[in-house]
Structure 1
Amino acid sequence: MNKSYIAIDWGSTNLRAWLYLNGELAASQRSEAGVTRLGGRTAEQVFHEILAPWQQHDVPVVMAGMVGSNAGWVPVPYLPCPTRLTSLAGRLTRVAQAAPRAAWVIPGISIVSADNCNVMRGEETQLLGAYRSEPATLYLMPGTHSKWVRINDGVIDDFRTVMTGELHHLLLKHSLVGVGIGEQRPDPDVFRQGLELGFRETHILRCLFETRAAHVLGQLDNSVVGEWLSGLLIGNEVAQMQRGWDIERGETVAVIGNPALAARYQQALLYAGLNHRLLDGDASFQAGIRSIVNELE
């Protein structure tokens, strides 16, 4: 593929854009102007500001993420599961306000069943790119809202969202658990101890206040509460998903994300007896966009 285009990953808190010319990455930009941080501007204004340095390049723009949500720029309907990944390219929504540029938003994916009501936006593009290069049946996408996804022959059959990252942030910043703990530091041993308890514990809510009690009573150093809590939550997430989805020991999980966070999940997967391979999140996203652009007229 030898096309020129702009790819945008527009989330709640950040925006990233990449300019490709003749199939090669020519420039990139990052901004904190996510759809919830527009700073009094409209999404349309931010769009044109971000792309102003590239105005001489009359190339199409393909966007993914929260830009297509009801809190974003243009509400784009979800594709219901089961959804074939290759169907994304045929279900783009054109953004009229982007004129004179030709711009589209990739749809998110939803699932509604008796025991699961879920949505994703942005991850579907990463999944498309990851599946193109590293086909797998089970993907894990760690983050603020971790996604676990089952794929069968290129079709997303099921997925779950676990709010591990957001819960960690809220507990440390906006609850009694984090009061008085001060600056945090890394401690692999404490993370591992929390991880092991997270695997064993079925009553995770009980452990949360006990985390506060532990540092108040001097049983847990204030500076490693974040490490303990990270291990506890990640360990419990992996254990619950392994049990809930009947993931057999020895099964391989493809982990899509940044290396630092993925490394924590890799420890949990190893503890669970699961194999894994790591795929770069940005590379997967850009591969997904590239695949969609290649199908545009």
Structure 2
Amino acid sequence: MSTAARLIGLDWGTSSMRAYLYDADGKVVATRHQPWGIRNLPEGGFAGALRAITADWPACVAVAAGMVGSRQGWREVPYVALPADAASIAHGMLRVDDCSSHALWIAPGLQRHQPADVMRGEETQIIGALAQQPLYQANSRFVLPGTHSKWASVVDGRIVAFDTVMTGEMYALLIKHSILGAGLPGEPAQPFAHDAFSRGVLTAKESGAEGVFSRLFSTRALMLAGELAAAHVPDFLSGLLIGEEFRIARSRDDDGISPLCLIGEASLCQRYTLAARSFGYAAPTVIDDAAVQGLWQLASAAGLLAKARLHSFSGATTP
């Protein structure tokens, strides 16, 4: 392995972890992935997982972000309050004292007090996306689709607000445990039903102030009436729920529509791109993996890259 290696970055979530090895210029020279999230650790726990995924890599300074810093993680790292940028997030990083294999630092998440909300891991992706797309620093909105979708507002390079929408979890509950999922075909999954999805998005848009909960049962009614094929119900429901995210967002766009940047898996971002178009947004920029750049940015802001060059790892608890 190259002696020029300078940093190890860890995107460590609930169900999996991804490790990156960076050279002195911030280029990723190796990547590894394991299903060792904080709920599914191998023998040896957190320390064993870190040693295994970095086996034969240089003992660089390591920076981790995600649920590894939660109450159920390796070390709980307190949230940082809004507004927040790379410097304030880096200042909140804590070192894991009982990690003997690396000088390991864990990034904090962010906390919004009114209304109450938190994120852990997505802030690192946003920092990475801002580094890749500096034009979005002035005034933009970042959308991170998923089980708990995040909508974050950025002004002058700082995350000033965010909201969590439980779209993915709500979709799974409705499909698996409600009448809306009754009588649907099983696996294998059907091809994406573009028209059904778009119809769901439009239904959410037209719900107005009533919102999507007033339209959910239309999923069942349309199927019973023969107007919606059973195989297309999942995509119609997906359109309804994603459309609701955009309906809420548009209701808050009093001062104009901020540019959108999507961060996430390509096929899921495709759905959000279609919904964005229906709600009058310009085509969003899509970034698949922003955490890799975000981890490097946080390490740099914390001064950890200089420590890596000097191979002098202090026992301090803050950068």
TM-score normalised by length of structure 2: 0.84
Gaps of 5+ in 1: none
Q: Does 1:277 align with 2:284?
A: yes
Other-structure match for 1:11: 13
Aligned partner of 1:235 among 210, 235, 243? 243
Give % identity: 34
CA distance in structure 2 between the partners assigned to 1:3 and 1:30 by the alignment: 18
How big is the shift at 1:182?
A: 1.8
Match of 1:260 among 260, 264, 267: 267
Shift of 1:193: 0.7
CA contact 2:129–2:293 (8 Å) conserved in 1: yes
Instruction: Specify the alignment match of 2:313 in structure 1.
Output: none
Does structure 1 residue 133 correspond to structure 2 residue 141? no
Query: 2:117 aligns to what?
Result: 118
Aligned to 1:154: 157
CA contact (8 A) 1:130 1:279 kept: no
How many aligned residue pairs are there? 290
Q: Which amino acid aligns with 1:212?
A: R
Shift of 1:96: 1.7
Summarize the alignment of residues 33-48 of structure 1 with structure 2, pairs less than 5 Å apart.
33-38=36-41, 42-48=45-51
Give the whole-Å Cα distance in 1 for the aligned partners of 2:84 and 2:23. 31
Does the CA-based 8 Å contact 1:255-1:276 persist in structure 2? no
Where in structure 2 are the equivalents of 1:46-125 lying within 5 Å?
46-54=49-57, 57-113=58-114, 116-125=115-124
CA RMSD of aligned residues (A): 2.0
Alignment CA distance shift 1:32-1:212 (3 Å): farther
- Give the 3 Å change call, closer, same or farther, for CA 218–38 of structure 1 in structure 2: farther
Compare 129-138 and 213-222 and name the one that shifted more.
Answer: 213-222
The answer (yes or no) to whether the contact 1:85–1:156 under 8 Å persists in 2 is: no
Q: The residue matched to 1:19 in structure 2 has which SS? A: strand
CA–CA distance in 1 between the matches of 2:113 and 2:51? 36
Report the Cα distance in structure 2 between the residues aligned to 1:11 and 1:280, rounded to whole angstroms: 19
| Cα distance, 1:68 vs structure 2 | 0.5
- Structure 2 residue matching 1:140: 3-state secondary structure: strand
Question: CA 1:78/1:245 → structure 2, altered by over 3 Å: closer, same or farther?
Answer: farther
Q: Distance in 2 between matches of 1:275 and 1:111?
A: 28
SS of match in other structure, 2:196: helix
CA distance in 2, matches of 1:248, 1:271: 16
Mark the CA change 1:204 to 1:39 in structure 2 (over 3 Å): closer, same or farther.
Answer: farther
Residue 41 (structure 1) shift: 5.8
Q: Which moved more, 1:210-219 or 1:199-208?
A: 210-219
- Kept in 1, the 8 Å contact 2:77–2:94? The answer is yes
* CA offset digits 1:230-260 (Å, max 9, x no partner): 11111111011110353625x4212222221
Aligned equivalent of 2:317: none
Amino acid at match of 1:65: G
Residue identity matched to 1:148: W
In 2, are the aligned partners of 1:5 and 1:19 still within 8 Å (CA)? yes
Q: Match for residue 218 of structure 1?
A: 226
Long gaps (5+) in structure 2: 308-319
What is the CA–CA distance in structure 2 between the aligned matches of 1:75 and 1:175, rounded to whole Å? 36
Q: Which amino acid aligns with 1:151?
A: V
**Counterpart Cα distance in 2 of 1:41 and 1:221:** 49
Distance in 1 (CA, whole Å) between partners of 2:14 and 2:274 is 28
Deviation (angstroms), 1:190: 0.8
